[in-house]
Amino acid sequence: MDYRKEYERWCVQATADADVAAELQTMDDAKVEDAFYRDLAFGTGGLRGVIGAGTNRMNIYTVAKASQGLADYLQKHFDKPSVSIGYDSRIKSDVFARAAAGVFAANGVEVYIWPTLMPVPTVSFATRYLGTSAGVMVTASHNPSKYNGYKVYGADGCQITTEAAAEILAEIEKLDIFADVKSISFEEGVEKRLIRYIPEEVYTAFVEAVKKQSVLFGETVNKDVAIVYSPLNGTGLKPVTRTLREMGYGNITVVKEQEQPDGNFPTCPYPNPEIKEAMALGMEYARRCHADLLLATDPDCDRVGIAVKDKNGEYVLLSGNETGILLLDYVCSQRVKHGKMPAGPVMVKTIVTTDMGQQIADHYGVRTVNVLTGFKFIGEQIGLLEKQGKADSYIFGFEESYGYLSGSYVRDKDGVNGAYLICEMFSYYATRGISLLDKLSELYQTYGYCLNTLHSYEFDGSAGFAKMQGIMKTFREEVGPGKRVNSFTGKKIEKVLDYSQGLDGLPKSDVLKYLLEGNCSIVVRPSGTEPKLKVYLSVSAESQTAAEEEEVKVICTMKTFLV
């Protein structure tokens, strides 16, 4: 693509969106190149990028082109194609959702759209409940406010497979962004009943499905625990508080400044519960209210972060891995205790998630399935079980990035389910005088201490993209047994798992996993949704202090590859 010519074409034709038209007039050459040097990548995660003008940006034109490609794909695969659409609190999410709806309607694809912003799992749920051919969620999950995105779900409510993504991309690439996209206004689509609002009964059915995930099985617990909750200016407020209150948790304080939807995220520029700063205001509220438990969900409410009090009354944030193993052990122990463990039980986790999950699953006789990074691969495994008539065998799935799901009613991580199950688990142990930190310590005593951390390195623009590719090439060529670098801080590399050609039956993915002696590992992969290289460390040691010291040494060595 000649980015300069494409920019000039946009200056003439991209007049329908005043914000885009105005931005085009103020771009210098560097901004033009970054905005037009490529098309925004479409893959299994759909689209994700910075909001703005250009082919490498999220705007009504790139959204409409993707929707046209998806519509063409659906027309080829379904006699009466239909789609469920949802959107979150991000800047222009509602605008992009309506633009997509207008394209689908113009192409004869029946549209069902949530009448208000909703969490990402409700699109997976609506797709399954209404039996639509596909689902679309407009969200950039936990990214900073300048981002937005477009996730696509298959008829099974799971994010699209690699094969489906490739086929949709082929349809998208056939299109001229201005000449080949059919569209009608959202208002016309509603008037002609080509676009319909998803009814309240579907929302209620979703909440009921979440409530059924309780594993108390009739046991009584103290539900008067003091909870502070933050939706981080996203979509979680109504479904999370409704679910908790209907299940008896009434002592809830919502963080006022982060209560209402706001795509600018004024008090948490990085609205990701994985990040300490995003939890800071919630921690203040927890101290002020003397809360027992702090919960926060990300803007599209598919991730949950938590904090609990230690013995000194200080609030401690738990990692996604820590919360995940606590939930897994709780679910398993309750099912075993009440005779509710299904035949052939299965737990699914990603390859970058703590290996302690597998140790816990083994202890309870639960089979572990390891999949690539991304909850879509966990959803895919639930679908495979469903095809075998064994959907009930799935008991839990989690990933280190704060995503959890304990039921098969959706095919994506669910922050509503996660928040509810965490509250139930907390109450269960609190009723018995056990804190979550006590329980976590018990798990470490049983299975050995393991520190799991994530380190992200940003590489912006076309130069950054090339840099990341070069770094991955260096790792493949120079790091491993018998190569220039065959150890990290004295820990010998015992094995390299390269997923780029497919491994263990998994799809091809640009991921490297180094297995080190002493039950330690390093995973390196470029993010599929952000301009970042991600490094996951798993360090086993005799104590937390020893593990943290070892982790510092490993990351110092890793950084020499990133300059």
- By annotation, the residues acting in catalysis are 141
How far apart, in whole angstroms, are the C-alpha atoms of residue 495 and residue 499?
A: 13
How far apart, in whole angstroms, are the C-alpha atoms of residue 121 and residue 302?
A: 7
SS3 content of the chain, % helix, strand, coil (to 5): 40, 20, 35
Q: If 0-12 CB within 10 Å is exposed, 13-18 middle and 19+ buried, where does residue 12 land? A: exposed
CA end-to-end span of the chain: 30
How far apart, in whole angstroms, are the C-alpha atoms of residue 189 and residue 110?
A: 10
Task: Give the largest CA-CA distance in the chain.
Answer: 69
The two beta strands, 315-318 and 227-230, are unpaired
How far apart, in whole angstroms, are the C-alpha atoms of residue 324 and residue 452?
A: 12
Gyration radius of the chain over CA positions: 23
Token couple for 437: 């930190």
How far apart, in whole angstroms, are the C-alpha atoms of residue 301 and residue 273?
A: 10
251-256 contact pairs (CB < 8 A, 24+): 251/224, 251/225, 251/226, 251/227, 252/227, 252/228, 253/226, 253/227, 253/228, 253/229, 253/285, 253/289, 253/291, 254/228, 254/229, 254/230, 255/228, 255/229, 255/230, 255/281, 255/282, 255/285, 255/296
Phi and psi angles of residue 351, each rounded to the nearest 5 degrees, phi first = -70, -15
Phi and psi angles of residue 555, each rounded to the nearest 5 degrees, phi first = -70, -30
How far apart, in whole angstroms, are the C-alpha atoms of residue 81 and residue 60?
A: 22
Token couple for 297: 């969900």
CA-CA-CA-CA torsion sign (316, 418, 377, 335): positive
